Amino acid sequence: MQVISGKLEKAKKVVLYGSEGIGKSSLAAQFPNPIFIDTEGSTNEMDVQRLAKPLSWEMLNQQVKWVMKQGSKQFATLVIDTIDWAEMLCVESVCSTHQKKGVEDFGYGKGYIYVAEELGKFLNLLSDVIDAGIHVVLTAHAQIIKFEQPDEMGAYDRYQLKLGQKTGSRTAALVKEWADMVLFINYKTFSVAIDEKGKKNKGQGGVRTVYATHHPAWDAKNRHGLPDEFPLDYAYIAHIFSKETSVKKVEADSKIPKALQELMKLNNVTEDEIQAVVSDKGYYPATTPIASYDSNFIDGVLIGAWSKVFEMIENKRNEIPFN
Query: pLDDT of 220-261, one tens digit each?
Result: 999 888 888 888 989 889 888 875 433 344 444 457 888 888
Query: pLDDT of 158-174, one tens digit each?
Result: 888 888 765 446 788 89
pLDDT of residue 261: 83
CA distance 205 to 122: 40
Counts for the chain of helices (H) and strands (E), in that order: 11, 11
Asked if 156 contacts 217 with a C-beta cutoff of 8 angstroms, the reply is yes
CA distance 108 to 129: 34
Give me the residues of the chain with pLDDT under 70, please.
1-8, 148-156, 165-169, 189-206, 243-254, 319-323
pLDDT of residue 256: 84
The angle at the Cα of 3, spanning 6 to 286, to the nearest 5 degrees, equals 95
Domains of the chain with bracketed CATH: 13-241 (3.40.50.300), 246-317 (no CATH)
Upstream peptide bond of 82 is cis (omega within 30 degrees of 0) = yes
pLDDT of residue 53: 92
Strands (E), the chain: 13-18, 34-38, 49-51, 77-81, 135-147, 156-161, 181-188, 191-194, 200-204, 207-211, 229-231
pLDDT of residue 194: 62
Instruction: Kindly give, in sequence order, each residue whose CB lies less than 8 Å from that of residue 14, ignoring residues fewer than 6 positions away.
Output: 31, 135, 136, 137, 138, 179, 180, 181, 182, 183
